Structure 1
Amino acid sequence: MTENEQLLRLVRDKAHNDHPWGRTSLPAPVDPATVARAEATLGFRLPPLLTELYVRIGDGGFGPEYGLLPLLDSSPSEESSSVAEYLTRRGWKGDDADWLWPEAVLPISHWGCGMFACVDCLAPQAPVLLFEPNTDDAEHAWYRDAPSLDAWLRTWIDGTGWYEETNEGMDLTPWESFHTRTPERPTS
C-alpha cells in the first residue's frame, strides 16, 4: 500500500468515527464531474490529495474543528462551499481593498471568527495556510499552518495541530508569499 493510500485510509477511518460539531454522518463523496466543474469555475486545478479527499472520503464534513467545507455545492445547513468562499474573497472591493485574497489559495475549512484553513493550490506540496483576519493588518493575517496537505491531515489524525487544547500557544510562521500572490492594490 502506498503512503498516499495509507493516509487516505487513516483519514477515512477517522472521518467515519469523528463527526465535527454534532454532525451525525459523513456527506457522500463527489463525482469526478463535480471536481471538473469546480476547477473550471476556479480557473486552477485542485491538488491531487484534495481531489482524492472529496472523491473518495466525502464532500466535506470531516477534518479538524468544523471540518472541510463542501467543495462546490453547499446544502441549506452549510455555511458555504470552498469554491463560493474563494470567489467571494477574490471579489472583495472598496473598503476591503487591503484584504485582497491571494490567487489560487482555496479556503477548505472554517475555524470560526472569520478564520480559514486554506490550501495553496499552486505550490507542488499544497501547503496549508491559516487566514486569521482578527488583526488590523492584512499583511499579518496569513500563516503557514502545515508544509503540505498531507502533513496537515496527519496533525489532525495524530491530535498534534495548533488548534488542539494541549497545543495552545504554538507559534505559526508568517506566510511570506502573501505579497506575490495577491492582486495589485488599486491606487487612489
Structure 2
Amino acid sequence: MTENEQLLARVSAKAHNTRPWGWPSLPEPVDASTPTRAETALGFPLPPLLADLYLRIGDGGFGPEYGLLSLLDSPPADEPAAVMRYLTNRESARRDPDWSWPEGVLPISHWGCAMYASVDCRTAEAPVLLFEPNADDADHAWHVDAPSLTAWLTSWADGTGWYEKTNEELQMTPWTDFRIRTTAARAS
C-alpha cells in the first residue's frame, strides 16, 4: 500500500467515526465526473490527493472544525461549496484589491469567523494556507497552515493540528507569496 493509500485509509476511518460541526452524516463520495467539472469551473487542476478525498471518502463533511466543504454542490449546511466560494472570492478580489484572493488557492474548509483553510493548487506540494480576514491587513491575513495537503491531513488524523487544545499556542508562518501571487494575478 502506498503512502497516499495509507493516508486515505486513515482519513476515511476517522471521517466515518467523527462528525464536524454542522454535518449530520458523511456525504457520499462524488461521481467520477465531478472533479473534472470542478476543474473546468475553476480553470486549474485539483491536486490528485484532494480529488481522491472527494472521490473516495465523501463530498465534504469530514476534517477539522467545520470539515471539508462540498466540492461543487451545496452541502447540508448553508456554506457554499468550495468551487463557488473560490469563484466568489476571486470576483470580490476584482472589486477590492485591498483584500485580493490569490489565483489557484481553493478554500476547502471553513473555520468560522470567515476564516478558511485553502489549498494552493498551483504548487506541487499543495500547501494548505489559513486565510484569517480578521487581521489588520491582507499582508497579515495569510499563513501556512501545513506545507502540504498530506501534512495537513496527517495532523488532523493524528490530532496534532494547531487547532487542537494541546497546540493552541502554536504560531503559523506568514505566507510570504501572498503579494507576489495577487500582484501577478492582477497583472495578467
Answer yes or no: same fold by TM over 0.5: yes
- The answer to whether the 8 Å contact 2:23/2:77 transfers is no
Residues 1-188 of structure 1 mapped to structure 2, 5 A cutoff: 1-21=1-21, 23-75=23-75, 77-92=77-92, 96-183=96-183
Shift of 1:75: 3.8
Moved over 2 A (4+): 75-78, 93-97, 183-186
Counterpart contact for 1:143–1:174, Cα < 8 Å: yes
Amino acid at match of 1:119: V
Identity %: 65
Distance in 2, matches of 1:185 and 1:117, equals 20
Cα distance in 1 between the residues matched to 2:77 and 2:113? 18
* Secondary structure in structure 2 of the residue aligned to 1:129: strand
CA distance in 1, matches of 2:126, 2:90: 19
Long gaps (5+) in structure 2: none
More divergent stretch after superposition (106-115 vs 16-25): 16-25
1: CA distance between counterparts of 2:124 and 2:185? 27
1:160-181 residue CA offsets vs partner (Å, 9 max, x unmatched): 1011111111100000110121
- For the residues of structure 2 that align with 1:8 and 1:184, how far apart are their CA atoms? 34
Task: Work out the CA distance in 2 between the residues paired with 1:169 and 1:124.
Answer: 29
Q: Output the amino acid matched with 2:37.
A: R
Tell whether the 8 Å contact from 2:22 to 2:77 is kept in structure 1 after alignment: no
How much does 1:77 deviate? 3.0
What secondary structure sits across from 1:61 in the alignment?
A: coil
Q: Report the TM-score when normalising by structure 2.
A: 0.94
Q: Calculate the aligned-residue CA RMSD, in Å.
A: 1.6
The offset of 1:31, in angstroms, is: 1.2
Relative to structure 1, is the Cα distance of residues 94 and 25 closer, same or farther in structure 2, using a 3 angstrom cutoff?
closer
Deviation at 1:88, TM superposition (A): 0.5
| Superposition TM-score, scaled by structure 1 size | 0.94
Aligned length: 186
